[in-house]
Amino acid sequence: MDTSTGLYNRNFWERIKTDIDLYPTTHNFSLIIIDIDNLKAINDAFGHLTGDRVIEIVGQAIKSNIREGRDVGIRYGGDEFIILLSNQSPHVTEKVIERIRKDIDRRALNENLNIKFSSGIAYNKSVADLEEMIKKADESLYRENEIKKAQKQQHSRMYYLIKQIGEVWDELDEKESKGDNLLTSEDILELGKRLDKLIEEYIENL
């Protein structure tokens, strides 16, 4: 057992791989990988004791939202967790992840923390090839992380465009309010073109 979370540890995972009889059922099997997104940032900002508490919270949420005796929660290592669900459809598996996410949010809020995680899922009718299952779940996790990176980059770009649009508007207002005699029709046209281009790019990124 992992003493920090009350979940099984990686040694138990290795035993399952070599002896699937340890797992209670061998059909309609789902494997979930959970990886904490911002543990390093929390460690850097608040220290490793808080980081350890984050791992505990995630482990507790996992344990509270899986079925005792039928499902298995494992702390695979560091900030990565594996969940084995039996007799669960993909739709139900997604619901389990959502319950865990909400539980983590609730526990984190009570301690003024913000914990984010990514997840990957794989399905099979049996647990005969766990290595292949974890490979597929890893690929699913990677895709989710790539989507989050793209969304973050897009949000950064949108913020930049909004900032630039505001600066151009401010420049126009300032020159008009001052009655700047040096502001020619060419200057106004150039500022207008810049503004139009920024607005067009912003709309394209919506």
Residues noted as catalytic: 79
Q: What is the Cα 41 distance to its own chain's centre?
A: 14
Run of H or E including 113: none
In angstroms, the CA 96 to CA 70 distance is 14
Q: How do 117-124 and 80-86 pair as beta strands?
A: unpaired
Radius of gyration of the chain (CA): 25
Classify residue 146 as exposed, middle or buried by CB count within 10 Å of its CB (0-12, 13-18, 19+).
exposed
In angstroms, the CA 54 to CA 151 distance is 24
Contact 17, 130 (CB under 8 A): yes
Contact 15, 70 (CB under 8 A): no
Run of H or E including 35: strand 29-36
Q: How do 29-36 and 117-124 pair as beta strands?
A: antiparallel
